Structures are given as C-alpha cells and as structure tokens.
Amino acid sequence: MSETASQSNAQTAQEISHESTLFAEPILHVGNFTITNSLIMSWVTVAILATFFVVVGKKARANKTGKPTGIQNFFEIILEQALNMADSVTGERKKTLKLFPIVFALFLFILVSNWMGLFPGVGTIGFVESAEHGKVFVPLLRGATADLNTTLAIGLFAVVMSHVVGVVTVGAWNHFNKFINLKAILEIPKKVKKDPMILMINPIKIFVGLIEVIGEVAKVASLSLRLFGNVFAGEVLIASMMALSAFILPLPFMFLELIVGIVQALVFAILTLAFMSIATIKEEH
C-alpha cells in the first residue's frame, strides 16, 4: 500500500513542472490591480531599507557625543568611500552631492533585492495551478530583480531621471537640442554667408542628435537587460543545483551570487551616475 502511494506521489511530482519565466506570476488581484510575487518582494525590500534607516537615524540623533559608533560608524565609512568613487565619475564633489542620493538609493534597492532572492523560501515555497501544458508550480515570492518588469521600470526611471537632471541643470532648450538640434537648423540661414562650412558641420550635428535619441532607448534596454540577465541566470543556476542536491552543492553558487549581486548593483549605479553627469553638460561641451 505504501509502495503504491509513494509511486503515485512520485508520478504527481513529475507531472508538476517548475518553469522559470521572464515575467513574474500573479498572486493576488485587488480590483484591476495585479499583485505579483516579485512586486511583493519589492515591497519587502523597501520596508527593510526604510526600517533600517529609521533605526539608524534614531540612534544617530540619540547619540549625544556627536561621534558615530557601531553600525552608524560602519555605514559612514561605506558612505564616504561611495562618495569618493562617485567623485571619480562626476569630477567634482559639488555635482556628486546633487546626484548621489538618487544613485545610492537605486544601488541599495538593487543590492537588497538581489540578495533577497537568495533567502530560503524565495522561489521554493508556493502553490500549484493548472496551465495549458499541465500543472505548474508558482512561487509565492520571487526576487524583484529576477523579474523583467522590475528591471525595465528601474532602467526607465534611471534614464528619465538623467533627463530631469539635465533639464534642471542646463535648461529645457539646451537639453532638448542635444537630441533634436533645432539650434543647428536655425543657425544655417543666419550664419551660412559668414561661414559656409556650417552647411557641412550642422547637418552632422543634427544627425548626431538623432543618434542620441536611439542611444537613450538603448540605455534603458542595456541597464534593464544586463541586471535581469545576470540575476535571472543565477536563479536558474541555483535551482538546477538544488535539483541535483539540495544540500552542500548549491552553497558555492549562492556565495558567487552574493558577489554578483554587489557587482550588478554597483555597475547599475555607476552607469546611472555617468548618464546623469553627462546630462549636466551643455551640448557645446
């Protein structure tokens, strides 16, 4: 009897497929709003970061000596090193202090999201639902950055913020002319008599501006796909190792994913900072 039951359970387990999809799976529906497993992890990440900084802020205010101690001291060391690294990208501390809060917030969100995907239960606890090709396992929780929707949203936010910074810094007209160079078009009839070479130079400027438009779209794709590809590949790799052996074998790969999580968050943050820094430069420079 027990042998028959075990064979039945084994057959049922084989019928249930564990597919890794590019997009997150829906868990709940609140009206027309769909809550996915990766969205839940995004909320958890934000809650962890918010709680951490509230606690650190209270301890800093309660410290009457004025000298950082404990975790505040550790975090201030990291912050100072991060500012120095940002200075190497922007070229000056004044510009760094303006751009750093946005970039560092993105870095922390991506870093914690990457690491949260390695927690026990993430991707392994869920429910089974029927699909076109049979029964499919749907995890209750999924790493936020292992979802293409999340990385696209972060990449789009980073690029849009670079344009906002550009408009605020150099003005809407100057920033717009980096892409649709109306200034170069208007200069042709005014200056062509004094400088005939403008007929050759300004069309090149116009063409370069159009290339920049394509480049902005490429930035979104580059930022989002790089982050998603690395995190998603690591998730699939660890799942494959756990299928072979649930103990010991996945540990080295999980350690590598910790490093990959730091590297990918750092690359994303540095590229975003570079895009913002470039946006603060006028077209002529």
| pLDDT, tens only, 191-215 | 766 777 777 777 777 788 788 889 8
Residue type, 284: E
Query: Are the C-beta atoms of residues 19 and 236 closer than 8 Å to each other?
Result: no
Mean pLDDT along residues 229-246? 82
Instruction: Give the pLDDT confidence score for residue 9 in this predicted structure.
Output: 41
- Decide if pLDDT at 1 tops 70: no
What number of other Cβ atoms are within 10 A of residue 96's Cβ? 21
Query: By CB neighbour count within 10 A (0-12 exposed, 13-18 middle, 19+ buried), where does 241 fall?
Result: middle
- Boundaries of every domain in the chain: 19-279
Q: Locate tokens 């580059």: which residue? A: 222
Spell out the residues 6+ positions from residue 14 whose beta carbon is closer than 8 angstroms to its own: none
Query: Are the C-beta atoms of residues 147 and 114 closer than 8 Å to each other?
Result: no
Distance, first Cα to last Cα, the chain = 81
- CA–CA separation, 153 and 195 (whole Å): 46
| pLDDT, tens only, 62-105 | 776 667 667 777 888 888 999 999 999 998 889 999 999 999 99
Query: Are the C-beta atoms of residues 40 and 141 closer than 8 Å to each other?
Result: yes
What tokens appear for 106 in the block?
A: 């993105």
- CA–CA separation, 243 and 159 (whole Å): 39
At residue 21 the predicted structure's pLDDT band, cuts being 50, 70 and 90, is low
Instruction: Give the pLDDT confidence score for residue 10 in this predicted structure.
Output: 41
Pairing of strands 126-131, 134-139: antiparallel
Query: Are the C-beta atoms of residues 231 and 110 closer than 8 Å to each other?
Result: no
The torsion angle over the Cα atoms of residues 154, 156, 162 and 164, rounded to 10 degrees, is -110
Using CA atoms, how far residue 67 sits from 52, 54, 72, 80, 82, in Å, is: 19, 18, 9, 15, 20
- CA–CA separation, 16 and 242 (whole Å): 16
